[in-house]
Amino acid sequence: MRRIGHFIGGREVEGQSGRFGDVFQPMTGEVIAQVALATKAEIRQAVENAKAAQPAWAATNPQRRARVLMRFIDLVSREMDSLADLLAREHGKTVADAKGDIQRGIEVAEFAVGIPHLMKGEYTEGAGPGIDIYSMRQPLGVVAGITPFNFPAMIPMWKFAPAIACGNAFILKPSERDPGVPMRLAELMMEAGLPAGILNVVNGDKEAVDAILDDPDIRAVGFVGSSTIAEYVYSRAAATGKRAQCFGGAKNHMIIMPDADMDQAVDALIGAGYGSAGERCMAVSVAVPVGKATAEILVDKLIPRVESLKIGPSTDPSADFGPLVTRQHLEKVRAYVDLGIQEGAKLVVDGRNFKMQGYENGFYMGGCLFDEVKPHMRIYKEEIFGPVLSVVRAKDYEEALRLPSEHEYGNGVAIFTRDGDAARDFAAKVNVGMVGINVPIPVPIAYYTFGGWKRSGFGDLNQHGPDAIRFYTKTKTVTSRWPSGVKEGAEFVIPTMQ
């Protein structure tokens, strides 16, 4: 059986802990590999390699750093098919969805290629008598990313591409559930010309996470996962003086106004609610039709669409979605559906007992649809992270606006309407970080920033876009004055603009 170690100092190394985690193929339920779980000493080894390599990389001019990323983008693009196949086999999402995962990561790397411009500071000539002031952006040093199972290509690239472009060295701790693609990305970075030690991949569990958070030489950490762990990572990182950006759970609503194109809205809900088996932080998990007539039409159209969803192995190009990531997660999602029934919600499509012929041991579940879900129910309050859509009926626009605004999560939200004034009002007032107008999954493109509000995000800087450059650099401001014309004698006041 394949053993996956770590990538430290420019090469794959065997794990030393003697502890391993199983890597499953969700299509069949089989264990296809074992991944080493790092010790604190192995984290430290990666940090030492990064710390030694980083000064020379920071001294490399940004255009040359950008060229490494350009070659990396080309290599990843050339290997798209093999990377997508590996990703699908470890995660369970379809190959087409896996390619989207990789492509969205490439787009952030493409943004980071602009680093010669993005890291430029500011300059003011003549800020005072004979005084010039300028600022510069400099890398932090060694930084780290802790990334989730559901996007094993995209989110690692969202983290390490801008960090490395800025001149930092990077420690990546990917999910131990699907580590194959992150390891391969590190190899491709080396092939692109990245110096050894600048990108290290250390696989592990909580022991590795805590070692990263406690290491004094790691200056910043980015995290994506559940809100409980995001808060833990943020608090522990802050306690050790680290910069932190931590993104957590979501309960993304889609508001359907009475004037919406109902067929368009249903198409959007099917794709955004059930794509990737709902294992997306940007998945729509709550549909909010406004008015009784809208709700009746919506549910009547949704039921046959959910019932006809095609679930299949990840390699089936005609499948709408594949299996869930692990049996444990499958049972958790099924338990939420059981809970919804107990809470009094109306289960109008039940996919709990779906079995895939020929893949009976795979982690499959059919689409589930709840109607008449109420805000006090746990299936509304908590993130299910599976192919389960809840319909929460709102009597009017004001109630529909309140639902996502008052929810503890504030990641993404969408409104479907033909009314420009309603859309504009909604976008301005809703208490959520990312808004879609007739767009069900409002993931910003790479040169804007991605991030949620409330318990969906901890920290004041978001992922990718300009915020990534700010997060992975520190600003130094220089005030200079040269001797010519300088008055003699000591000055005892702070310089002012007068």
Please write the tens of the pLDDT for every residue from 142-192.
999 999 999 999 999 999 999 999 999 999 999 999 999 999 999 999 999
**First-to-final CA distance of the chain:** 73
Q: Does residue 491 carry a pLDDT above 80?
A: no
**Model confidence at 482, in pLDDT bands (50, 70, 90)?**
confident
Q: What is the mean pLDDT of residues 358-363?
A: 95
pLDDT in tens, 130-151: 899 999 999 999 999 999 999 9
Q: Does residue 354 carry a pLDDT above 80?
A: yes
Contacts of residues 416-421 at CB distance under 8 Å and 24 or more positions apart, as own/partner, are 416/254, 416/255, 416/256, 416/257, 416/260, 416/261, 416/264, 416/265, 416/268, 416/440, 417/255, 417/257, 417/259, 417/260, 418/257, 418/259, 418/260, 418/261, 419/257, 419/259
pTM of the model: 0.94
Calpha distance 315→225 (Å, rounded)? 26
* Residue pair 261/418 in contact by the 8 Å Cβ criterion: yes
453 is written with which tokens? 């509000």
pLDDT score for 267: 97
pLDDT in tens, 370-422: 999 999 999 999 999 999 999 999 999 999 999 999 999 999 999 999 999 99
**Model confidence at 254, in pLDDT bands (50, 70, 90)?**
very high
Q: Which residue, chain included where needed, has tokens 């709902």?
A: 278
190 is written with which tokens? 């080396």
**Model confidence at 242, in pLDDT bands (50, 70, 90)?**
very high
Count CB neighbours of 282 within 10 A.
Answer: 21
Q: Does residue 275 carry a pLDDT above 60?
A: yes
336 is written with which tokens? 């939420």
pLDDT score for 486: 56
Q: What is the mean pLDDT of residues 8-16?
A: 95
Q: Does residue 83 carry a pLDDT above 80?
A: yes
Residue among 490, 379, 415, 402 nearest 256 (CA): 415
pLDDT score for 494: 79
* Residue pair 469/158 in contact by the 8 Å Cβ criterion: no
Q: Does residue 219 carry a pLDDT above 70?
A: yes
Q: Which residue, chain included where needed, has tokens 């390619």?
A: 99
More confident residue, 315 or 496: 315
Q: What is the mean pLDDT of residues 200-210?
A: 97
283 is written with which tokens? 């998945």
Q: Does residue 289 carry a pLDDT above 70?
A: yes
Q: What is the mean pLDDT of residues 341-352?
A: 97
The domains of the chain, with CATH numbers, are 2-248+456-478 (3.40.605.10), 252-437 (3.40.309.10)
pLDDT score for 200: 98
Q: Which residue, chain included where needed, has tokens 């294992």?
A: 279
Among all residues, which ones are annotated catalytic? 281
Mean pLDDT of the chain: 96
pLDDT score for 496: 74
* Residue pair 69/114 in contact by the 8 Å Cβ criterion: no
pLDDT score for 367: 98
Q: Does residue 273 carry a pLDDT above 90?
A: yes
Could you write out the three-class secondary structure of the chain?
CEEECEEECCEEECCCCCCEEEEEECCCCEEEEEEECCCHHHHHHHHHHHHHHHHHHHHCCHHHHHHHHHHHHHHHHHCHHHHHHHHHHHHCCCHHHHHHHHHHHHHHHHHHCCHHHHCCCCEEEEEECCEEEEEEEEECCEEEEECCCCCCCHHHHHHHHHHHHCCCEEEEECCCCCCHHHHHHHHHHHHCCCCCCCEEECCCCHHHHHHHHHCCCEEEEEEECCHHHHHHHHHHHHHCCCEEEEECCCCEEEEECCCCCHHHHHHHHHHHHHHHHHCCCCCEEEEEEECHHHHHHHHHHHHHHHHCCCECCCCCCCCCECCCCCHHHHHHHHHHHHHHHHHCCEEEECCCCCCCCCCCCCCCCCCEEEECCCCCCHHHHCCCCCCEEEECCECCHHHHHHHHHHCCEECEEEEECCCHHHHHHHHHHCCCCEEEECCCCCCCCCCCCECCEECCEECCCCECCHHHHHHCEEEEEEEEECCCCCCCCCCCCCCCCC
pLDDT score for 462: 93
pLDDT score for 399: 98
Q: What is the mean pLDDT of residues 305-334?
A: 96
Count CB neighbours of 216 within 10 A.
Answer: 9
Q: Does residue 488 carry a pLDDT above 80?
A: no
Q: What is the mean pLDDT of residues 442-447?
A: 92
Q: Does residue 9 carry a pLDDT above 60?
A: yes
Count CB neighbours of 136 within 10 A.
Answer: 15
Region of 441 on the Ramachandran plot (φ > 0 left; ψ -120 to 50 alpha; else beta): beta
pLDDT score for 485: 59
